[in-house]
Amino acid sequence: MRDWLFLACEAGHDWQSIGGCNAGCGPDCSCSVPVNICSRCGDCDYGDNEDARQVRASCRLGSDEYRV
Ligand SMILES: [Zn+2]
Ligand SMILES: [Zn+2]
């Protein structure tokens, strides 16, 4: 039984960074966002996380702060 693993994840996944991918916030976008995978259940956020939201928001504002 692995049910307890998923119960634990209901409160929040144990994200581990596995790298990054293109933010995809625009046709000329070259931003990258972190991609995380849960060490318990193996779920992947595919770049859907708070850091990615900050990168995309920053890109819209024309800031280079989060660009790599
Ligand atoms: Zn999880
Ligand atoms: Zn961008």
- The domain ranges of the chain are 3-60
Query: Which tokens sit at 45?
Result: 């956020």
Look up residue 9 and give its DSSP letter. Answer: H
- Distance in Å, CA 38 to ligand 1 centroid: 5
DSSP-derived secondary structure letter, 33: E
pLDDT greater at residue 65 or residue 20 = 20
Q: Region 14-42: what's the mean pLDDT?
A: 92
What is the pTM for the complete model shown?
0.70
Output the CA angle 11-8-6, nearest 5 degrees: 110
Classify burial at 3, counting beta carbons within 10 Å of its beta carbon; exposed 0-12, middle 13-18, buried 19 or more.
exposed
Whole-number Å distance, alpha carbon 32 to ligand 1 midpoint, is: 23
The pLDDT-based confidence of 53 (bands split at 50, 70, 90) is very high
Ligand nearest to the CA of 13: 1
Per-residue model confidence (pLDDT) at position 25: 87
Query: Which residues are found with C-beta within 5 Å of the ion, ligand 1?
Result: 9, 13, 38, 40-41, 43
pLDDT of residue 8: 85
Q: Which ligand gives the minimal distance to the CA of 26?
A: 2
